[in-house]
Structure 1
Amino acid sequence: MAHPTVAVLERHLTLYRRLWRASVFSSFALPVLFVGSIGLGVGRYVGGLEGVSYAAWIVPGVLASTAFQMAVGECTYSVLGEFKWTRGAHAMFATRVSAWDMVRGWLAYIVIRVLIAVVVFLLVVWGFGVLGSWWTLVTPLVAGLLALAVAGPVTAFSASIEHDSYFALLFRFVMIPSTLFAGVFFPVEQLPALVRPLAYASPLWHGVELSRAATLGSAPPWPVWVHVGYLVVFAVGGMWWAAAAFRRRLQD
């Protein structure tokens, strides 16, 4: 018999078999729309940025943002539904599957989903000639770590609430501001000094800086180990929080 964590991952992958066509299509459409409309269209007016074209500068930010938004979106209604609507988590818990197994299997599934989307993204934008370094090959690893750092806390949050109306607050005050002000579309240094620390606190900014350094073949402003360490702390802390939230919720 498979390890309980592997069994949980297999369950989610089996369910994903019904949805993969739509998700792969969106993975193709998103980079084409962003690179074509913003990278090339807006880039004509922006010109170069930090010594490269705006399209080359924005692509790693959109890549990291894709991983970030996918991790947030997938870990909201799907997680709450397992406890509140389908009771799938309780069914698993009735077997020998523990809360830790559920969390690990779920997060592994999220990372796989993100890696698929990122690889498709890179294949599409490669045709635009905006990837300037072989270090681009490590960007899926960056996206996977970013997804893990985001999915853990969001999964814990989703397992802790009773009503899906709280997700509107998460989207409005966390996901959207992070996407707009974490260095995806313009340098964080252009933000007011008082607001800048909020951008630095976002896991997305660290993912963007690592992805941009890889695709451009340049060193990030902060040491690489600082960015990686920050994301690892978020990932580990989120996993512990999620496991605790699952255990509390499974007592219902």
Structure 2
Amino acid sequence: MPERTVTGAAPALRELGYWLHRYRRIWRGTVVISVANPLLFLTALGAGLGKLINTRTAAALHGTPYLHFVLPGLLAAAAMQTTYVEAAGPVLQSVRTRGNYRAAATTPLDPTDILYGHLLFILLRVTMTGAMFALVGAAFGTVGATRALLLAPCTTLIGLAFATPVAAWAVTVSRPASLTMMMRFAILPLYMFSGTFFPTTGLPGPLRDLAEATPLWHGVELCRSLALGTATAAATAVHVGYLAAMAAVGLWAARRSYRRVLHA
């Protein structure tokens, strides 16, 4: 036990090494996707839908070009989606079909080491996706270079806020169909109605209140206010505090569920 205390970070890093070793085979494809997705979105929205919105509904955006408005929302939504893809299916497979969690649990690695190592990998992936998105946005001129630098850590926080509760849930799931249902009935509605593509002020009262209570809305507002230069200290503290609290509660739940499942 004393030796474990001295080198407490090493076990989680060994688990991270496993995920990085697997990632070596596919990293080129994910980098291409991380660049191609924002390019396609920004080209379509800027050259197509954006022009129509700018001429007809500019007042709803307070004069902000639609491309400048939608980029931070897309970045936050991409962070959520990337996190779900990396945290849901791989966690289920690691417990069930692939069994690498079970194999790791037979070594001196503690379930929390396995959790922390996988979370570190997920955060690396979502940070990379956010950085690519921000770089493409800066290249398009939709966000300044200095503000683009602020968006990468925002995506990391959004990723952590989603990764911990998703991992806490996914480690207990036994059927892949449950992941599909979660994507269909939770992730996609969040993507569509949390302010990613249009202001939530256009929603009816109860739906607006519901949308503005979601973690993605806080992530979108945090990214958008920083990208557009409209951030205030109070609002930023609220958004960061909400996402940090969600990450902390999710981590607490994940530690419990990982111990229960992997010690079973």
Q: Please give the TM-score of this superposition, normalised by the length of structure 2.
A: 0.91
Alignment match, 2:134: 122
| 1:200 Cα deviation from its structure 2 partner | 1.7
Alignment match, 1:92: 104
- Determine whether 1:7 maps to 2:8: no
- The answer to whether the Cα contact below 8 Å between 1:39 and 1:58 also exists between their aligned partners in 2 is no
- The answer to whether the Cα contact below 8 Å between 1:209 and 1:220 also exists between their aligned partners in 2 is no
Alignment match, 2:50: 43
Alignment match, 2:31: 24
Unaligned runs of 5+ in 2: 1-6
**Aligned counterparts of 2:259 and 2:134: Cα–Cα separation in 1:** 38
| 1:136 Cα deviation from its structure 2 partner | 2.6
Alignment match, 2:4: none
Alignment match, 1:137: 149
- Determine whether 1:102 maps to 2:114: yes
Runs of 4+ in 1 over 6 A off after TM superposition: none
**Aligned counterparts of 1:54 and 1:225: Cα–Cα separation in 2:** 26
AA matched with 2:162: V
| 1:215 Cα deviation from its structure 2 partner | 1.0
Identity %: 36
SS at the partner of 1:185? coil
**Aligned counterparts of 1:84 and 1:95: Cα–Cα separation in 2:** 18
- Determine whether 1:161 maps to 2:173: yes
- The answer to whether the Cα contact below 8 Å between 2:138 and 2:144 also exists between their aligned partners in 1 is no
Q: Please give the TM-score of this superposition, normalised by the length of structure 1.
A: 0.95
- Determine whether 1:178 maps to 2:185: no
| 1:222 Cα deviation from its structure 2 partner | 6.4
- The answer to whether the Cα contact below 8 Å between 1:12 and 1:106 also exists between their aligned partners in 2 is yes
| 1:221 Cα deviation from its structure 2 partner | 10
Alignment match, 2:245: 233
CA deviations over 1:121-151 (Å, ceiling 9, x no partner): 2222222111147233111111000000001
Structure number with the higher helix fraction is 2
AA matched with 1:76: A
> Which of residues 67, 70, 87 in structure 2 aligns to 1:75?
87
